[in-house]
Amino acid sequence: MTGGEARRAHDPNTTTKVRTERGAQPEEKKDFRIRIDALIKEAEAANAVTVEKAKTQPLFSVPQTLSEYDTAIIGTPLASQEQCVDYLLSVNPYPEISVTPRELVAYYYEEGEREGIRPDVAFAQALKETGFFRYGGTVTPDQNNYCGLGTTSAEVKGAYFATSQIGVRAHIQHLLAYASTREPITPVVDPRYSLVRGVYGTNTLGNWQDLNGRWAVPGDSYGQSILSMFRAILRK
């Protein structure tokens, strides 16, 4: 650039041509904003679905239960929630529980499937422990304690839980303490979880009949009776 050209470039009295691009029109901006909003909403919806799946789907491998004669504690349900409800009400039409039978069973499936514990068999265990929710023993209905947690004698009532779902969660976590070295996904509410894990260390109990003499004493056929109830549920 010459000196004259430089002076002219900075001289306010010199006319210069400035090339400008045509700006986006209001309608175009509006359409663009609509497209962006739609993409954001689509992404948010997809994320919400992922989060909901994560709440129920375990973050670990759970072997699929294929037979009613499979005695493993860890696995997937064979019975439907409806079958569990029907079986309970066929034996006791008026269970002493703080929620509806359908809600209680749903809690067992939610908590059990989250931790990889078979929910239908866990529910059968609750039926055995509570006498089909008639109670009559040391534990009372207001405790929301469905598996005799902490009940070590006729004088010791055991654990109390604020809600039915927390009581179910504690039951499932107690089963997990026996069956796996993996910690529960949700915060521990089972007051005896650490005790069981401390005793068993790296050892686990794989089958329901392995609970004989451990969950219930002497309990020679404790696990077998639970599995028998579970199979009765399947007949409903």
Predicted confidence (pLDDT) per residue in 161-177, tens digit: 999 999 999 999 999 99
Q: If you search the block for the tokens 């954001």, which residue do you land on?
A: 40
pLDDT in the model for residue 6: 46
pLDDT one-digit tens code per residue, 96-145: 999 999 999 999 999 999 999 999 999 999 999 999 999 988 999 999 99
Average pLDDT of the chain, as a whole number: 86
Give pairs for 64-67: CB < 8 Å, separation 24+: 65/118
Give the domains, in start order, of the chain with CATH numbers. 56-234 (1.10.530.10)
Biggest distance spanned by C-alpha atoms of the chain: 109
Angle between helices 119-130 and 81-91 (to 10 degrees): 10
Interval 183-209 mean pLDDT: 97
State yes or no: pLDDT of 13 exceeds 90: no
pLDDT one-digit tens code per residue, 20-68: 455 556 666 666 677 667 767 766 665 555 445 555 555 689 999 999 9
Q: If you search the block for the tokens 């056929």, which residue do you land on?
A: 221
